[in-house]
Amino acid sequence: MRWVSAIITACIIMVSLNTASALGGDISELKKLISTNEDTRTNSQDLAFFLATHNYNAEPEDSYVELNLNDKIYKLIPNGDKPGLCDIMS
């Protein structure tokens, strides 16, 4: 029973460390994430979900995603057939 609680504790610590590192990310980490992934069918809902699963503060709008990164708002537009997932506008 001690092993189970130790494993659960370790998992909780690992998840919290991962969240902290992603939330402290910068624009270069974001650019790397969106350039290493590609999906021509991605819309604003899909993009916001993808970013949220990578611990970014992203909200879908009609045709773009608003991303709050280090108290700066970025507008991310899914780019369809172009390389990467989206274009970043400041």
Q: Give the model's pLDDT for residue 24.
A: 46
**Lowest mean pLDDT segment, chosen from 46-50, 69-73, 82-86:** 82-86
Closest CA to 21 of 55, 72, 47: 55
- Residues sharing a CB contact under 8 Å with residue 68, sequence separation 6 or more, in sequence order: 57, 58, 74
Stretch 50-79: mean pLDDT, rounded? Answer: 95
- Residues sharing a CB contact under 8 Å with residue 16, sequence separation 6 or more, in sequence order: none
The three-point CA angle 53-57-59 to 5° equals: 95
Q: Give the model's pLDDT for residue 81.
A: 85
Q: Does the pLDDT value for residue 13 go beyond 80? A: no
Stretch 72-80: mean pLDDT, rounded? Answer: 94
This prediction has a pTM of 0.70
In the chain, the amino acid numbered 12 is I
